[in-house]
Structure 1
């Protein structure tokens, strides 16, 4: 290995070349599978019925493919470490842990994101052509992915945060990583909910079971008795500055923090 054990551009280029040579068939099959499903299912419904006349009809396929496909693809990162022989080969390759991590990171985040949207656009054009051939009409563009409304962009913040969770999970679980990460995420969310419920019960008590209609660490919908057998809901919300802090963390801190933890987790990996 070259004297620079953290990052050397030439060495990284050699590792990239080896990585794509070894994984090209897998990446191609994954891309074709996603593309085939996104294309074949809508075309089938177009040919058998008048469905999918609007772009909004395709939006669920877009988001399901983005989240399920992207998170499943990310969960296969560092899959070599689940097998002793492949794991030894992966760790012993003359490239730094950072170069190996940044390669997987770029492929599973930027690479998948770009190729997925290229694939979806190509799929949309084929589906549109099929509709024109069947009905003589183009798909009506009634759905804007980012600007109508602008809040849709938060879907992408959520995707990046989840992608970071599954990349971190891939450094912990090398077999059945997707299922194990989903289970771990569920347990984590359930734990937060229980902690929030206990915290709120200590503050407000359990009158009216209002804790069931609260958003953890954000708001509480308390039912207060205004008259005998009469309850009036009162909404308690955290201060605006704390809301903005939550929003900033969700947009800019959660994903980079988890990516960083995943890198250091890989640094400590042994076979």
Structure 2
């Protein structure tokens, strides 16, 4: 196995991976498009608009993206297929980036195409039954484009879970993220109590003037806004790269262990 990245081999590997799961992609597309068409037809009788389309699309995008990302490395962990994974004529980097491309941009393009077909079929049925069209689905609307960044972050979390957990990757990823969220929430409450507890006590004590309290609350709000900006920046720009990094390290580790 060559330890460098070759673009031609990477494209061939990506093509092979998509061809291997062609049947599941086709059946999934039929199921999703059919569900979308039926749901849009049913909501058409109640006058559902583009907001419902966007909500339905985001549900398929996020839920399907999480499931797809969590199952990306299933054959790397399976005893029956880990040998095939190891013997692929591609470097670790090519395997990693081919899976990353399929689980991120690949799913986004796939669900856009399938959802568009489902909406088209649903609107045709709606026209035949009700006799009218409504505003058509626009995958490039500002609302949906803004959601892509959050989708990439969610995908990266489940992508890492798919690499680190050997079995039940999706369920374990959900459990881990839930426990992580609870832990971070408790840590934030404890930290806020330790840092700001004495200040709150002084601000509300009877021997302090009202001006001290006003100054305290002003400083606290500024500090809180600064912390929120830092947390938001870390979430938006560091979460996905960090998850991709630890996923890559896990893939390299798994290949070394499987080779022994």
TM-score tier, shorter chain, comes to 0.7 to 0.9
Q: Partner residue of 2:113?
A: 118
Q: Partner residue of 2:5?
A: 7
Q: Which segment drifts farther, 113-122 or 154-163?
A: 154-163
> 161, 164, 185: which is aligned to 2:156?
164
Q: Which structure is higher in RCO with an 8 Å CA cutoff and minimum separation 6? A: 2
State the 1:112 CA deviation: 0.7
Q: Partner residue of 1:41?
A: 39
Equivalent residues in 2 for 1:217-256 (5 A)? 236=221, 238=223, 242-256=227-241
TM-score (norm 1): 0.77
Asked if structure 2 preserves the Cα contact closer than 8 Å seen for 1:81 and 1:90, the reply is yes
1:137 aligns with 2:122: no
Structure 1 pair 39/95, CA: closer, same or farther in 2 (3 Å)?
A: same
State the 1:68 CA deviation: 0.7
> 14, 26, 48: which is aligned to 2:24?
26
Asked if structure 1 preserves the Cα contact closer than 8 Å seen for 2:163 and 2:247, the reply is yes
Structure 1 unpaired stretches of 5+ = 209-222, 227-233
Q: Distance in 2 between matches of 1:238 and 1:146?
A: 35
User: Match of 2:81, SS?
Assistant: helix
Structure 1 pair 171/203, CA: closer, same or farther in 2 (3 Å)?
A: same
Alignment RMSD: 3.1
Q: Partner residue of 1:177?
A: 169
State the 1:17 CA deviation: 3.9
State the 1:249 CA deviation: 2.9
Q: Distance in 2 between matches of 1:73 and 1:193?
A: 28
User: Match of 2:3, SS?
Assistant: coil
TM-score (norm 2): 0.80
Asked if structure 2 preserves the Cα contact closer than 8 Å seen for 1:77 and 1:108, the reply is yes
Count of paired positions: 243
Describe the superposition over 1:85-122 as per-residue Cα deviations: whole angstroms up to 9, x where unpaired. Answer: 20121012221111111111111111110111122222
Q: Distance in 2 between matches of 1:193 and 1:134?
A: 50
Structure 1 pair 125/197, CA: closer, same or farther in 2 (3 Å)?
A: same
User: Match of 1:257, SS?
Assistant: helix
> 242, 251, 255: which is aligned to 1:257?
242
